[in-house]
A and B are shown apart, each in its own frame.
Chain A
Amino acid sequence: MRETIYWLLNIVCAVVILVLLGLHMGIMHLDGVLAALLNTSGHPLAWENMLERAGSGFFKSTYVLLLATALFHGFYGLRTMLLEYWSSPRAEHIVTVMCWAAGLTLFFTGAYVTISFGPGAV
């Protein structure tokens, strides 16, 4: 059932991304609306605001979850497309391993940045 599980995880990830990326996009790009509604100040990409978010456990955990789900969803999609072009059993193995390797590298890089960055880190 490996392919069905991969595919189902892909769909579950899609739903998680839909919620978390909606939130992420809202916080990053609807700063004008948020400033009016929640009385926040400054640009979300300003250094002080980034430090403030980095100190929050909620932001850290959602970032790591969003990163994991987005990478799985993205690399599953890429693997699906690549396997349509290279369809021999050997190519299947190579493409799958390369997608996992690229995905895990990006995940650990991103997770390291998210977890280690904070008010006291720099």
Chain B
Amino acid sequence: MKQITGNSNRIGIWRWLMGGRHGFEGYLYVLHRISGVALLLFLSMHVFFTGSRLLGQETWERLMSMTRGPVFVFLEYLVYCAFIFHAFNGVRLILIELGIAVGRPDHPVFPYRGSIHKQRPLMIVLMIVTGILIALGGFDLLRFPH
């Protein structure tokens, strides 16, 4: 059969944030990807920044004093938030992707209670821990500025 190619109607990256309504897990999926890219960017910078130690104590200390400005500290806090979220949401995803936290196949009887409901208690607990750790990190940052 000839394919109709006039309008593909593929929603693209728009689907991630604005294309339609998501469930809570849908937003976590988007955040997991964004935080992952942010962490990879940070890791790449981190490797080169910490590599400056090979140039000697003076270079290292000059670079480290640069990182104590408020903008840098705030960016560092964002990296911390991304790490905490990515780690705890990642625990949930590991358990789900290995087929552990999604439950066994169920009878599809209305109202449907599928894998989303099975993993939801785990998701809620992990997101509460994430929230607490992010708040504690922020408190630590305000209370004990480096």
Report which A residues bind B (CB closer than 8 A): 11, 14-15, 18, 21-22, 25, 29, 32, 45, 47, 50, 67, 70-71, 74-75, 77-78, 81, 85, 106, 109-110, 113, 116-117, 121-122
Contacts and interface: CB of A to CB of B under 8 A. Distances in A.
Contacts of A110: 47, 50-51
Interface in B34-77: 36-37, 39-40, 43-44, 47-48, 50-51, 53-54, 56-57, 60-61, 64
Contact of A109 (B47, B53, B57): B47
B47 A15 contact: no
Interface stretch (B86-94, B101-109, B113-121, B123-131): B86-94
A17 B70 CA distance: 28
B112 interface: no
Given A11-B97, A74-B40, 10 more contacts: A25-B83, A47-B57, A50-B53, A74-B36, A74-B43, A77-B33, A81-B33, A113-B47, A117-B54, A122-B56
B144 interface: yes
Interface residues of B, number: 29
A109 B43 contact: no
B47 A106 contact: yes
A106 B40 CA distance: 11
A117 B53 contact: yes
23 contacts: A11-B94, A11-B97, A14-B94, A15-B94, A25-B83, A29-B80, A47-B57, A47-B61, A67-B47, A70-B43, A74-B39, A74-B40, A75-B40, A78-B36, A81-B33, A81-B37, A106-B44, A109-B48, A110-B50, A113-B47, A113-B54, A121-B54, A122-B56
